[in-house]
Chains A and B, each alone.
Chain A
Amino acid sequence: MTTERIAFFYHYTLGPEWQQQIVEKLGARLIDNKILIMPEGIASGGSIFLEVLPGLSVLLLDMTFHVPVAITRIPIDHNYYMVYFDIGDEITTHIVEGSIHKAGYHSKLGMSFMDANSKGILMPPIGERSYSLRLFIEKSYLKELGASTRDLSVNNQLFDESKNTLFFYSHIDSRSKVLLNSLKEQPFTNPSFELKLKSTALYLLGYLVERVSRFEPIINKLSQPDIDNVLKTSQYLLDHLLEEFPGLQKMAELAGMSVSKYKTLFKKILKESPNNFFLNEKLLLAQKLLQSGNFNSVQEIAYELGYSSPNYFAKVYKKMFGLLPAEVLVKQS
């Protein structure tokens, strides 16, 4: 049984014009130049797009795809940045059939920040609800906001596209997550929904600028292969959280770069060293496993996560979350 993926190419714009591509190529219905309803044959649900203020637009997307699609955002030189928030669970765990002890999991990072001229391909899972929000921020506007939070010369360097690429990939910060969770509870059809979406978009922008100002500025020009290669390794780490850290040498090889280049680029994009990134993600997974109710003891979870010493696991867990794993453990019922 082979089902052909529907390949679809598009690009966004700061204004509402981009929506015409979805209407023309996929047969979506456009209402008031802001709400797109997908044709039932492809997906149920739709999206809402609003211009919040000059230099900032927001797109909220709530769709369940029924057929396989490959949606490619074409890198056309555009004068804006895109911030992507995935408002689903970042780590999902489920019991693999037939074995109580093996917990299957899927881990991902919910937020990315990129230049509109980088390419992206999305292959949404079939039959699963995708709920995501995107901000489109005009470059000059973000530069102006950034200038109010840090040293002017640093800001100028960060926004100098001949020397630096702004790009990062991360978890959604807490304040943003609380806002997004509360927005998710509001139906699109509420009369107040557009106001709340605008309010959320503005606060997300504010939190983003505040958060980014705390990042260590790493001035570096990224090529598309650099980005792809580093993200390939971070995904590799996320897919192998139950194992030990593979070592920098191996990671750099996987990325096809020197160790020193790899370390710098990883830190620039993921905001942490590969080793710390791996340990933090492991402990976040530990947190989910402890609360999952699928285990009877901390020891089981420590072994599941590849720690040979449950005591050491308890120590690093406490350091990160302030509580001992035993205090958090929900036992199997």
Chain B
Amino acid sequence: MKEVVHQYGVELDWVADLAAQLDGYVEGNCIRIPDEVRPGNRYILPINEDLTAFIIDVTYRRDVIFKLRNTRTDFVGLYFNLTEGESIHIMDKVSRTAGRWGYNLAIFDAEMNGDFQVKSGCTSYMIAIFIKKTALKQYISNIPQHQQIVESIFNPKLNTIVRFDRMSNQAWWLMNELQKASPEGPLYDVFVTGTVYGLIGDYMDQLINQEIIIGQVIAEDLVNIVNSQAFLIENIENSFPGIADLAARAMMSETKYKKLFKKITGVSPNSFFLSNKLSFAKEMLETGQYTISEISDQYNFFSPSHLIEQFKTAYGVPPKEYLTRL
């Protein structure tokens, strides 16, 4: 297994060293690695003096362990991680599954050491956002229920900022939208910056709404709900499996299942399923190669007019009009 000991920061002095350790080189905003399986993308964008983004969209061809050993302590990293395949976070000898259905959002104080292990064949898509603690403090103090505790959150004697979380569905779609942009030229910087602001904004909403939840949910239930989300996405082309079926799979009563699903994801199972169905339908529509009827069949809507109605409600525009004015 290859071992990479590296560091991050808002300032860019870590980039050349990371490139060298990956047997690559720096070209403009990119780290290029000559013999990768698919031409990947490692893109570093300083957004302002408080904020830098690092986008990684690659396939690993060998096992790698990344050991994050920062020398700066003035920032916090937000890691939005959509790795598909086997990957784990290790911190204090406790491992957590990372990637789309695991803890796909990690928030790490620069003072913490953490290891991130990926297996060969893993496809990793991650956006890491490095924020100066002073700027993060500013954001957090805008949240009313955090104003009282903001001083203690940022007092290193009292608290270390570390959190494993799951990103919202909205964040997932934001990252998906960015992947459609070509990673070249100044236009890419516009989309990256837009995505980064969107992700931070979205996570603030999540903090406001979900603050109390995590502590009251036991780990086993959490895993079951996360698996249930994955199950719904795998079956996105079918009709809604029904609460009874979903609850049975999650080994909970229907009441408990509905309550927990809502607590953890912020939406009901039905609405989670429908909003994802519509997002997939929208993507299929955007290709311009399918009729409304075909899309409606593919994703099992009751009828084309049902799809039209739901699409209009969700996006404010009927699908055909959406397509003609794209």
Contacts and interface: CB of A to CB of B under 8 A. Distances in A.
B317 interface: yes
B323 A192 contact: no
Contacts of B195: 199
Interface of B is mostly: helix
B208 interface: yes
A192 B205 contact: yes
Nearest to A209: B187
A206 interface: yes
Interface stretch (B14-22, B53-61, B196-204): B196-204
Q: How extensive is the interface on chain A, given as a class? A: 35 or more
B320 A322 contact: yes
B320 A327 contact: no
A321 B320 contact: yes
Interface residues of B, number: 41
Contact of B202 (A144, A148, A178, A192): A192
A321 B200 CA distance: 38
B150 to A, nearest CB: 12
A175 B317 CA distance: 10
Contacts of B28: none
Contacts of B142: 191
A206 B326 contact: no
A196 to B, nearest CB: 4
Interface string B184-220: 1111001101111110111011001000000000000
Contact of A284 (B187, B198, B321): B321
B231 interface: no
A195 B321 contact: no
A191 B191 contact: no
Interface in B291-326: 291-292, 304-305, 315-318, 320-326
A178 B283 CA distance: 13
B321 A181 contact: no
Given A53-B193, A178-B315, A206-B181, A191 B144 contact: yes
Contacts of A190: 205
Interface of A is mostly: helix
A102 interface: no
A199 B198 contact: yes
Given A177-B317, A178-B315, A203-B191, A148 B291 contact: no
A206 B191 contact: yes
- Which one of A194, A200, A210, A321 has the highest number of Cβ atoms from chain B below 10 Å of its Cβ? A321
A148 B316 contact: no
Contacts, number: 108
Given A174-B317, A320-B324, A327-B305, A195 B186 contact: no
Contacts of B144: 191
A284 B201 CA distance: 35
Nearest to A148: B185
Given A192-B201, A192-B202, A199-B195, A145 B318 contact: no
B318 A287 contact: yes
A202 interface: yes
A163 interface: no
A139 interface: no
B122 to A, nearest CB: 29
Contacts of A181: 315-317
B201 A196 contact: yes
Interface in A146-172: 148-149, 171-172
Interface string B109-140: 00000000000000000000000000000010
B230 interface: no
B244 interface: no
B325 A174 contact: yes
A198 interface: yes
A202 B321 contact: no
A218 B39 CA distance: 37
Given A144-B186, A323-B292, A177 B194 contact: no
Lowest 4 A-B CB distances belong to which pairs? Answer: A202-B194, A195-B201, A148-B185, A181-B316
12 contacts: A145-B190, A148-B184, A149-B187, A177-B325, A178-B322, A181-B315, A181-B317, A191-B139, A192-B202, A203-B177, A205-B190, A320-B320
Given A174-B323, A195-B200, A206-B191, 9 more contacts: A144-B186, A178-B322, A198-B194, A199-B195, A199-B196, A205-B194, A206-B181, A287-B318, A322-B292
Interface of B: 47-48, 139, 142-144, 177, 181, 184-187, 190-191, 193-198, 200-202, 204-205, 208, 291-292, 304-305, 315-318, 320-326
